[in-house]
Chains A and B, each alone.
Chain A
Amino acid sequence: MKVLYFAWVRERIGLEAEEIDLPQGVATVAELAAFLGARGEGYARAFENPRIVRAALDRRHAKPDTPLGAAREIAFFPPMTGG
């Protein structure tokens, strides 16, 4: 699965994007965030407050309990500040 990061999530992790093979037991947005948060120091800082980090599944906003299903792309990012 392609994982994208934006704004301070991208800065803390140090990557714009990466390919992740989903491990057993990771079936929802929140479970993937928890899995990523355990991958290292930068990831831990990015996901230190999982309730703040937002996600989009195949370019649509997704809630933490949304199943990853057959989605090809997920993005994690801070609350949006455009406009």
Chain B
Amino acid sequence: MFTVRIQAQDFDAAAEAAALARGRTDIGAVVTFAGLCRAQDAPGGAPLIALTLEHYPGMAEEEIGRLMEQARARWPLVGATVIHRYGRMVPGDNIVLVVTASAHRAAAFEAAEFLMDWLKTRAPFWKMEERDDGKGWVAAKDEDDAAAERWA
């Protein structure tokens, strides 16, 4: 099964991975990646109080769905789940989940990394950071573009 969900509420990574494999005997590998809200970006920097994620409703689901189609065309996946949250999150909270399932581990690992790398540069989400000294939009990172481009 292939699923994309955009939601405000939290997710349970273990439950999502179990749901993907439940009742099947053709899956030999499940890779689960969870991205969390982190308090500190650099040593000595002002700690993060919260992140607020804005998204483009409709396009967010569709764009991640298109990335999932590309992953399926490239690797023999038997299932995948991507969940991306929006709204306000504090350090320790879940932000994004990618679960991939395949007969063998290489496809599951690579597809999960591919989905995360492309999601960061193509899924329409924007992070607003809240720190002691104020609020500001997170700038896109060149290293995220480079991570995505290596799959091209």
Chain A residues engaging chain B, CB cutoff 8 angstroms: 4, 6-8, 56, 59-61, 75, 77-83
Contact = CB atoms under 8 A, between A and B. Distances in A.
Contact of A83 (B54, B59, B119, B128): B119
A59 B62 contact: yes
A72 B49 CA distance: 39
Interface of B: 35, 53-56, 58-59, 62-63, 84, 95-96, 116, 119-128, 137-141, 144
A77 B120 contact: no
- Main secondary structure on B side of the interface with A: mixed
Given A4-B56, A7-B137, A75-B56, A82 B126 contact: yes
A81 B126 CA distance: 5
A83 B95 contact: yes
Contacts of A6: 54, 56, 124, 126
13 contacts: A59-B62, A61-B63, A75-B59, A75-B124, A79-B139, A79-B140, A81-B125, A81-B138, A81-B139, A82-B126, A82-B127, A83-B84, A83-B144
